[in-house]
Structure 1
Amino acid sequence: MDWNHPDVYQYEKKIALKIPCYHMLYEMMDRLLTVRLDKDAAYVMVVGAGGGQELLTLGRRHPDWSFTGVDTSANMLNLARQRLKIAGIQLNADFIEREVKQLERKHQYDAATCMLVLHFVQDKRKFLQHIADRLAEGAPFFIAAIQGDLDSESFWWQMRAWKEHMLANGIAEQEWERFADSIGRHSHPIPAEEVEAMLIESGFTNVTRFFSAYLIDGWFAVKGGGK
């Protein structure tokens, strides 16, 4: 998908129809992050902030937190700004149009999120390392992505079931076909155990899966040896 195409403004209208328990994924992220962070004021890095769902979810409940929202798409960042404005949420937030590796490393964030982004990244190991390098020791990290072995039968069973879910929720079959055709071309899922191994290699501990819906899994982890 071209994230700078004007059609990205339809993203937030359709994503919850496509992903089962989409809003629950973010609710669970927030609850777990709140328990782990336990701070009145915190500085959170949101990687892939375009669309704005993390900022909406966290901003409603944590008005004293500060955010850096980083995304490579100007249109998606504008969508995040629009959604926050419509919701009447005023955040202490910086919106930065660049890759996470381009962020300065002098500030160590208290937490980070990266939701529904990793499958679009080809060099996942370096990407996760860039995030880890910008987190303080003990910082929680939340990530969700499409995962699976594209050569396995089970992957395509899940895809067929996911198709039925989307069509039942009003997604056009042509749109489903575009999504299915993009797997392995524009998105690059890898097996869950490889995601978990990369998180550990990048310096994260306590890697735990907290969400699963068809081929989308969510994990939380801790930078370094935090309890």
Structure 2
Amino acid sequence: MTALKFEDQKLPDLDDYAKLAEQFIPGRQAIFAIVESALLELIPQGPAKILVVGAGGGEEILRLGLNNPDWSFVGVDTYEPMVELAHKRLGRTPVGLRSKVHATTIDNLAEKNFDAATCILTAHFVPDDGAKMAFFEAIYKRLKPGAPFTVVDGVGVADDDQTELLRRIWKRHAIRNGISAEVAASNAENFKKVSVVSEQREEELLVSAGFKRLTPIFRGLAIKGWLAFA
């Protein structure tokens, strides 16, 4: 599938982004709840430093940080307007004092030895031409040995009948949640342009990058989530 950068989409006003994402993404609240539950189960009690890859907007850090005051966060995102939005949103909450969000790529982040990492709906913007493998390797190298990594990603195969059916259901789901038919259709078309890979290929990339004990933790139409360990 053709590579599509996040910022190349027809984006809404950024202040409305979180609200619209809830309308578009099946099970979005469940994704955050499952990721938080996984980290609560796997991270030892006490201070923990969490890496958030694709942290623009600040939503993930807010969801994970509000009820977990011992956790601190370092986020990276390549789209500067979303990073600015994250700074604004986090600055209004106590979580902002425990968070840093950088406008950079993960391979340029100097910090390492994280207790956990998350990557929610970001990796499918990275093309599978060697860049996606390098992306996962860069995350792996910044984790402590055995640290948990939760990745939630769009999956699919170009022109596959099942993938196309899931894309159409995605569009219907958005319309049912109040999105106009025109906007829903445009968003569904984006799925043809992002660098999604099959579930099998995603698992192959994660294992090749060094991750072990892959465990599926979420499925919502063409979105799948895994728990893995460095």
Distance 1:161 1:195 in 2: 22
Distance 1:151 1:215 in 2: 14
Cα deviation per residue 1:182-207 (whole Å; 9 max; x = unaligned)? Answer: 2343x111111111111111111110
Return the offset for 1:16.
Answer: 0.6
Normalised by the length of structure 2, the TM-score is 0.90
For 1:35, the aligned partner's letter is E
Aligned position for 1:178: 186
Return the offset for 1:81.
Answer: 2.5
The structure, 1 or 2, with the larger RCO (C-alpha pairs under 8 Å, 6+ apart) is 2
Please list every run of at least 4 consecutive aligned residues from structure 1 whose deviation after the TM superposition is greater than 4 angstroms.
Answer: 3-6
Distance 1:134 1:88, change over 3 A: closer
Distance 1:177 1:138 in 2: 42
Q: SS of the counterpart of 1:149? A: coil
Question: Is 1:16 aligned to residue 22 of structure 2?
Answer: yes
CA contact (8 A) 2:168 2:188 kept: no
Return the offset for 1:108.
Answer: 1.5
CA contact (8 A) 1:9 1:75 kept: no
Aligned pairs (5 A) from 1:32-71: 32-71=38-77
Aligned pairs (5 A) from 1:135-214: 135-185=143-193, 187-214=194-221
Aligned position for 1:131: 139
Q: Give unmatched runs, 5+ long, in structure 1.
A: none
Distance 1:88 1:65, change over 3 A: closer
Distance 1:71 1:78 in 2: 10
Distance 2:114 2:94 in 1: 26
**Matched residue pairs, number?**
221
CA contact (8 A) 1:132 1:203 kept: yes
For 1:68, the aligned partner's letter is V
Distance 1:43 1:152 in 2: 40
Distance 1:88 1:21 in 2: 26
For 2:90, the aligned partner's letter is L
Distance 2:46 2:133 in 1: 32
Distance 1:102 1:3 in 2: 22
CA contact (8 A) 2:167 2:191 kept: no
Normalised by the length of structure 1, the TM-score is 0.91
Aligned position for 2:124: 119
Distance 1:98 1:6, change over 3 A: farther
Return the offset for 1:96.
Answer: 0.9
Aligned position for 1:103: 109
Q: Give unmatched runs, 5+ long, in structure 2.
A: 1-5
CA RMSD of aligned residues (A): 1.8
State the identity %: 33
Return the offset for 1:6.
Answer: 7.7
